[in-house]
A and B are shown apart, each in its own frame.
Chain A
Amino acid sequence: MSRLLLIGDIEQIPKAEARNVRVDGLEVAVYRTRSDEVFATQAHCPHAGGPLADGLLGEGKVICPLHERAFDLRTGRNLTDDCGDLRVYPVKLAADGKITIELSGEGVAGTGSPL
């Protein structure tokens, strides 16, 4: 069973950066690209729990600030081939800038280790 939840406005996130959003008890990293595409993944790096929202963004990927693991924002795939993949969440950007996320069943954090 999946639910669509409003998580906020795109203007809350600077261009080409990301922020963590707490939604329904779940912490999610929400990314905004320079061209205003929006992505969402689990908040913490599967390798050592690094805060992915503090990472560097570019060309549809994020680099974790702690140990430079890189992930594809669309698929969550680990691009540096050195740890597990990320859980990704479908997000939609409405014309008025509102972002909605689609959660399917989970009410607790995904595979990331908690901070």
Chain B
Amino acid sequence: MAKRRLVVVGNGMAGVRAVEEVLQRGGGELFDITIFGDEPYGNYNRIMLSSVLSGEQDAAEIFLNPIDWYRENGIALHAGSPVTKIDRAAKIVVSESGVREAYDKLLIATGSRPLVPPIVGVSGQGGRLKRGVFGFRSYDDCNAILARAKQSARAVVIGGGLLGLEAARGLLAHLSDVHLVHSGKHLMHMQLDAMSGAMLEASMRSLGAQIHLEKQTARILGDEEVSGVAFKDGSTLDCDLIVLATGIRPNSEIGLRAGLSVERAIVVDDQMRSVDDADVYAIGECAQHRGRVYGLVAPLWEQGKVFADHFTQRDLGAAYHGSKLATKLKVTGIELASMGTPEHEIGDELIQLAEPKRGVYKKLIVRDSRLVGAILLGDISKAAYLMQAFAHDAPLPEERLSMLFDLGAPSQKITLDEMPAETQICNCNGVTKSTLGACVSAGHRSAKAAMDATRAGKGCGACKTLVAEVVLYFCGGEVEEDPSVHYYVPGVTMTKPQLIAAVRERGLKSVSAVFASLADGVEDAASKPALASLLATVWNGDYEDERDAHFINDRVHANIQKDGTFSVVPQMPGGVCTPQELKRIAEVAEKYAVPLVKLTGGQRVDLVGVPKDQLPAVWRDLGMPAGSAWAKAYRTCKSCIGSDYCRVGLGDSMGFASKIEARLRGLEAPAKLKLATAGCPRNCSEALIKDVGFVAIGDDKWEIYIGGAGGSRVRKGDLLATVDGEEKALALAGRFLQYYRENAKWRERTYDFVERVGLERIRAVVVEDSDRVGAALDAALEAAIAAAYDPWTEAQAPKTVNQFASTLPAEA
């Protein structure tokens, strides 16, 4: 079958990126691709022109696709050959140089050109810009400005937006006398508020630029060549070089001539097709989507993907819904990032820091718990994180200040740019910044894909946020969202609520039944333990507990060690035991020659190094219930001495711990649960850094803290409520635990859960019963507690054949 023909009008960043996306989807096999470009070059990175102007980058460095690339990919390139006509009836484009090319599908990506404001004297002969006046848009513009700057004494940049600032900075590398003229009250008034605008102005001045605000340009002086500018307030400024940075104008005339709907630009639908012709697509600055025309690079990347998905029919449901705009200023010596709205409204949360002396300004605007605007000046170390949160409407940490600073951890003084390549990002798996960079280059362009490929973030998980930031950095801000991050397990394409609903509805009562019903029978090994946990939560005791679905620890009820032996921890509520129990533990340790007896952090005794086949005998001889020290379940409740003996104790922490353990032991959960009770706020039992911590404050009152952590990261628990009496404290904590069991992701500890869901939301559901689910949560917890059992009884009644066999002898 003959290949179909794709013709692309426009050889800029949008057009070529779109073609790259098409090639990535195998479109090279299906289509003959032809690209027309105005400029006689391959494709270059237009946004780096300001670095070329400033001399920081060589012109050759900014080329993205050299001429060879087109040849290697079988693409016909007509560079320097602008298309003048599109005949939609005949499906042919014609270029200025007379090239005619037929198409089946057409992509218009003609971009934009500088907006020339209607100023008297701006044009010279033939309607072109007066000699000495330049736009700053193309490679040729850049070279012309550089040539002119060599013979100029003073340059004026008109326009104090992003591009104007970058142009002024670039010119300062060649001229000492550079003036920036801006009509607004402060610089970058679309992105900054007055205070950050003023601080930016000070920074620009310190780099050597003269700044003129609220100046309207009335006339450009000079007959043949520019000699100065006159302003509406009557003042004038002599100069011999002017750069216009007053905005852009879409190159959409080609669409108008072809009879397409054009308003501010070519009007497209959510598939980036012209609303008039399903065979004509338009993306980038020449396209108008839902009334908006974008002038930044990120939206055209998103548009290019939607185009490619739809065009190659890889995903006919692909749709572009508009972009949220974030930007960084590329001016050496000034760190500036901004996103969303610069001004807050009544009712918004405002997190703001201003240190004019250090040149640091940070402002975050939070509306309905979502980031809607941010300005970072002087320190953009959190920019990658914030841009991601902004773009994806991500939930924000309760501790809002942690969005501006790294609290409780060594401050991230260096930006990702400055971070040495060999810096280790993931300490557990030894993954460095450069490894992640190589991984992104190899095409793993989402945090999840990079983590899967490198194992970064798969140890303790504390570095996941940083890994995501580094991946974002290497992706140039354009990170792909992998929908699978929302799946409960990789092997079933559903979120946890969807999965629970399906399991209930279809009555799925074993892990293999879930795979058979919801994953075409494909039994993904890594998904099994999470599904087993979910079934336990949904059905309590009433399901088929297929042991192969469990991690080895849950098959033999002990914790596997690095040498393949196991550790045995009997129950010891609140760290309290009788002398007889202690003796028995000692006797067992001697009898089985246990290599190590160790006190755990949870106030228990650990017998380490027991071979699998000895486990049943050890349990029988101990005669104590299991401590669940291996399991994703309630594990232990630490306590201090409490009011029975302690001279400052305010509550019976020891007795309460014992009651808590009696109630919750064996309770399965998405991740381990470590609890503690403290008899007074001195917190000797570390109740403030536990999944749930109870602190006695006197008068039989208990504070309940949730989401504390003292592991790979340290986090003080959040105060959920203060209640009267142990009974109420345990009831409320139980309700929280059930809410967590039902809603947390697999292996999501309470501290991540609390941050993800938000303390306010948890308090509303658990304490105030806002969703009227309190009684249901309490009932579900009762059922789970009723179903909990001591698995060490399997010493007498093994659940599977050869359950505890280390090695089977071969049959003779």
Contact = CB atoms under 8 A, between A and B. Distances in A.
Nearest to B453: A81
B161 to A, nearest CB: 47
Given A51-B564, A54-B560, A56-B525, A14 B801 contact: yes
A7 B563 contact: no
Interface string A3-21: 0011111011111110111
Interface in B523-541: 523-529
Contacts of A17: 547-548, 555, 800
Given A13-B802, A15-B548, A56-B529, 12 more contacts: A14-B801, A15-B546, A17-B547, A17-B548, A19-B807, A50-B564, A54-B564, A57-B525, A58-B528, A59-B522, A70-B526, A115-B563
B775 interface: no
A63 B526 contact: yes
Given A16-B546, A17-B547, A66-B562, A24 B810 contact: yes
Contacts of A8: 808, 810-811
A37 to B, nearest CB: 12
A59 B524 contact: yes
Contacts of A49: 563-564
B455 interface: yes
Interface of A: 5-9, 11-17, 19-24, 27, 34, 48-51, 54-59, 61-63, 65-66, 68, 70, 80, 82, 98, 115
Contact of B800 (A14, A55, A63, A66): A14
A7 to B, nearest CB: 5
A56 B551 contact: yes
A6 B811 contact: yes
Interface in B781-812: 800-803, 805-812
6 contacts: A16-B549, A22-B808, A34-B548, A54-B564, A57-B548, A61-B525
Given A34-B512, A51-B564, A62 B525 contact: yes
A99 to B, nearest CB: 9
Nearest to B806: A20
Nearest to B566: A54
A22 to B, nearest CB: 5
A8 B806 CA distance: 15
Contacts of B805: 19-20
A67 to B, nearest CB: 9
Contact of A55 (B547, B552, B612): B552
A54 B552 contact: yes
Contacts of B810: 5-8, 21-24
A72 B807 CA distance: 22
A56 B526 CA distance: 7
Contact of B523 (A11, A22, A59): A59
Given A22-B809, A34-B512, A56-B526, A14 B562 contact: no
Contacts of A54: 552, 555, 560, 564, 612
Contacts of A14: 547-548, 800-803
Contacts of B562: 48, 66
Contact of B801 (A13, A27, A63): A13
A50 B523 CA distance: 22
A19 B808 contact: yes
A86 B721 CA distance: 54
B801 A115 contact: no
B525 A22 contact: no
A58 B525 contact: yes
A48 B563 CA distance: 9
A65 B552 contact: yes
Nearest to B565: A115
Contacts of B529: 56
Contacts of A80: 455
Interface of B: 455, 458, 491, 512, 522-529, 546-549, 551-552, 555, 560, 562-564, 612, 800-803, 805-812
A19 B547 CA distance: 14
Contacts of B563: 49, 115
A14 B805 CA distance: 12
A63 B555 CA distance: 15
Nearest to B547: A14
Contacts of A11: 801
Contacts of B528: 56, 58
B548 A16 contact: yes
Contact of B808 (A6, A20, A50): A20
Contacts of B526: 56, 58, 63, 68, 70
B524 A58 contact: yes
Nearest to A69: B455
> Closest 4 A-B residue pairs measured CB to CB?
A58-B525, A16-B548, A54-B552, A23-B810
A58 B805 CA distance: 21
A75 B527 CA distance: 22
A68 to B, nearest CB: 8
Given A7-B811, A57-B548, A16 B523 contact: yes
A54 B458 CA distance: 20
A79 to B, nearest CB: 10
A113 to B, nearest CB: 11
A25 B555 CA distance: 27
A63 B525 contact: yes
Contact of B551 (A9, A19, A65): A65
Contacts of B548: 14-17, 34, 56-57
Contacts of B808: 8, 12, 19-22
Nearest to A27: B807
Contacts of A63: 525-526
B130 to A, nearest CB: 62
A9 B808 CA distance: 11
A50 B560 CA distance: 10
Contacts of B522: 59
Contacts of B555: 17, 54
Given A14-B800, A56-B528, A115 B811 contact: no
Contacts of A82: 455
A98 B522 CA distance: 27
A115 B422 CA distance: 34
B523 A58 contact: yes
A115 B458 CA distance: 25
A32 to B, nearest CB: 9
B801 A66 contact: no
Contacts of B455: 80, 82
B807 A21 contact: yes
B121 to A, nearest CB: 66
A58 B612 CA distance: 23
Contacts of B802: 12-14, 19
A24 B810 CA distance: 8
A102 B592 CA distance: 37
Contacts of B560: 51, 54, 65-66
B532 to A, nearest CB: 11
Given A23-B810, A65-B551, A12 B801 contact: yes
A43 to B, nearest CB: 8
A59 B811 contact: no
B341 to A, nearest CB: 44
A17 B803 CA distance: 10
A63 B525 CA distance: 7
Nearest to B560: A65
A74 B767 CA distance: 54
Nearest to A33: B523
A102 to B, nearest CB: 13
A64 B800 CA distance: 20
A20 B525 CA distance: 19
* Residue of A5, A13, A14, A48 with highest tally of chain B CB at under 10 A: A14
